[in-house]
Amino acid sequence: MLVVGAGGIGCELLKNLVLAGFEDIVVIDLDTIDYSNLNRQFLFSKQHVGMSKSRVAKESVLKYNPDVKIKSYHGNVKDSTYGPSFIKQFDLVLNALDNLSARRHVNRVCLAVGVPLVESGTAGYLGQVQPIIKTVSECFECAPKPSPTTYPVCTIRSNPTKPIHCIIWAKMLFLRLFGKSDDSNAVTDLEETNQQENNDLEELDENEREGVELAKKFVEDDKMKLEQEKDRSYERWIFHKVFHTDVLYLCTLKTLWKGKQEPKPLLLDQLLASMEVATPQNSTGNVLIPDQQVWNVKQNAEVFLKVAKELKASVSEDNKVLEWEKDDDLHLDFVTAASNLRCSIFHLPLSSRFDVKSEAGNVIPAIATTNAIIAGLMVLEAYKILNKQKDRHRYHYLYKNPTRGKLILTARLLEPNPSCYICGSKFANLKINTATTTLNYFMKEVISKHLNIGAPSIFLGETCIYEAAGGEDEDDMGMDYQLPKTLQQLNIIDNTILKIEDFNSDYELQLSITHQTKFPSEEVLFELSGDKASKKHVEKLEDTPQNPEAEDDLQIISGSTKNAKRKREQSTENTSQKMNLVLIDE
């Protein structure tokens, strides 16, 4: 069998499999071990930091049973190396992944080659296990998953009202300075000025113009100071530009601050000369560990200067592009300091390094006990699949608080959803303006973002409209010359049907195109849907199977502290309410 992921759930799962008697196991993981993993991923210790998770996990579990045959791969399961031909050699795949994209990929490949999959996830005290068997049960994508929370760019750039807005801005600043930025970055090129925006101010009413002209004069006068800071050092120039000059410009937009407190630009020398004293205690007087302490504004300024200088030197020396990593101390220090400085400007509360890491890294606290319970339930489902006990498969849901006196509830498997893009009819409908939509937009928003197809080939009849670049030749641009063309120019018009193939996951989809020019709102540019379901899908949550005598699983744990023991229920309760969670193991 194949175990995908050797993190929180993966470590528990590998240990369980070895102790349960499974003798032929393959594990794959692309990650390396970090100090932050050691509190819950018990197969690793300090001397393993920086090493491959899959390799160390293999070596550690062999100590439980040296006779077990285990092979490890350090790689990305989405790579073509681990495609359909690799997956179909296994009797079962067990997912212990931490991101939706990889989960979708494994789900599609397993369905394509007919290999059963046991999906899992945890989020704090919550957990779930989902057996996925082709033609028997719903797949991972039958039910829609909630999209990550997004924030308007204008709020991030000009009018933050919550600390999270400043944290997102700080990450964008990091990418603008040291990484790969794009047009969606709310932090503009730091070499640009606000001249064009200042010109727009002349359109204001006459009674506002006098104050605006005075503010514009302040901005003009600040240019000399900005140049002086640039001559002194890179980090001082960045500080003055983003925490003073840009904020000074925002202060000229008087209508933006009606009824609100204006932002307060920061002056570096004044901050460094201030007498602020660090207070490593919370409101109750308890001494806090370093990561839970909230730096004052002066400390944030000092950290910002130090880290910006080091990051700039690192990028310049190696001529490299950085990606923000929550577990990199320099990266985290930069975002913590930058976000707190911006919070102080907009009169928002400051955050600790720990809080910034949780928010910026989208980290849900991981609990080792939750991982252990879910891994155990996965092994139970693995036994059922390998023994072909189809009538005994169950979904398992772990709750934080008892529900009807129980922490774990089970549910019968749902049949595949006919309208699912993946395991249903594989036929979807797209309403879109073919006259104005470019192939580039179609590829990014429809194919990549909404259908999650990574390496598409698109055919109209026998004609190949687009094929993703591939191979090792970096100069191979594939058919990118087609991207600026509209769908209509490519003969993709009303009532045409496209065949879309995904080389990476051996997946094929028929997409029916309907030309439409009007949508419910200006923000909606297309509508994507599958075939209408031929029947309703209603999930039944149950405490036990209908025949409790035939069930020998540990299925329910009592939520009572007075009677925390295994027990069987003699009755069956059904409910039509479905619990639909997206859970991520960190």
Q: Tell me the per-residue pLDDT of 275-327, one tens digit each, with 9 for 90 and over.
A: 766 655 454 455 567 888 999 999 999 999 999 999 999 887 777 788 888 87
**What residue spans in the chain does CATH classification 3.40.50.720 cover?**
2-147+365-394
From the list 411, 399, 385, 413, the residue with the least C-alpha distance to 544 is 411
Residue 531 assigned as binding residue: no
Residue 40 assigned as binding residue: yes
CATH of region 427-530: 3.10.290.20
Note the pLDDT of residue 12: 96
- Secondary structure of residue 286 in the 3-state scheme: coil
Q: What DSSP string describes 378-408? A: HHHHHHHHHTT-GGG-EEEEEEEEEETTEEE
Note the pLDDT of residue 217: 63
Note the pLDDT of residue 580: 38
CATH of region 2-147+365-394: 3.40.50.720
CATH of region 153-360: 1.10.10.520
Where are the alpha helices (H) located in 24-160, listed in sequence order? Answer: 53-61, 84-87, 100-113, 153-158
Residue 586 pLDDT greater than 50, yes or no = no
Cβ(256)–Cβ(195) below 8 Å? no
From the list 414, 513, 433, the residue with the least C-alpha distance to 143 is 414
Q: Greatest CA span in the chain, whole angstroms?
A: 86
**What residue spans in the chain does CATH classification 1.10.10.520 cover?**
153-360
Residue 407 assigned as binding residue: no
Catalytic residue among 11, 110, 154, 251: 154
**What residue spans in the chain does CATH classification 3.10.290.20 cover?**
427-530
The length of the chain in residues reads 586
Note the pLDDT of residue 582: 40
Residue 258 one-letter amino acid: K
- Secondary structure of residue 518 in the 3-state scheme: coil
Residue 98 assigned as binding residue: yes
Residue 579 pLDDT greater than 60, yes or no = no
pTM, full prediction: 0.54
Give the tokens for residue 126: 């919550």
Residue 5 assigned as binding residue: yes
> Does residue 464 carry a catalytic annotation?
no
Residue 9 assigned as binding residue: yes
Share of the chain above pLDDT 70, in %: 76
Note the pLDDT of residue 285: 53
pLDDT per residue as tens digits for the range 450-509: 888 888 889 887 789 998 765 444 444 568 888 999 999 999 988 677 888 887 777 778
Residue 166 assigned as binding residue: no
Query: For 493, how many CA atoms within 13 A lie in the half-sphere containing its CB?
Result: 4
pLDDT per residue as tens digits for the range 401-434: 887 889 999 999 999 888 776 776 566 788 999 9
Q: Cα–Cα distances in Å, from 521 out to 69, 140, 147, 486?
A: 58, 30, 20, 22
Q: How confident is the model at residue 398 (pLDDT cuts 50, 70, 90)?
A: very high
Note the pLDDT of residue 148: 60
User: What is the rounded distance in angstroms from the CA atom of residue 66 to the CA atom of residue 53?
Assistant: 19
Share of the chain above pLDDT 90, in %: 36
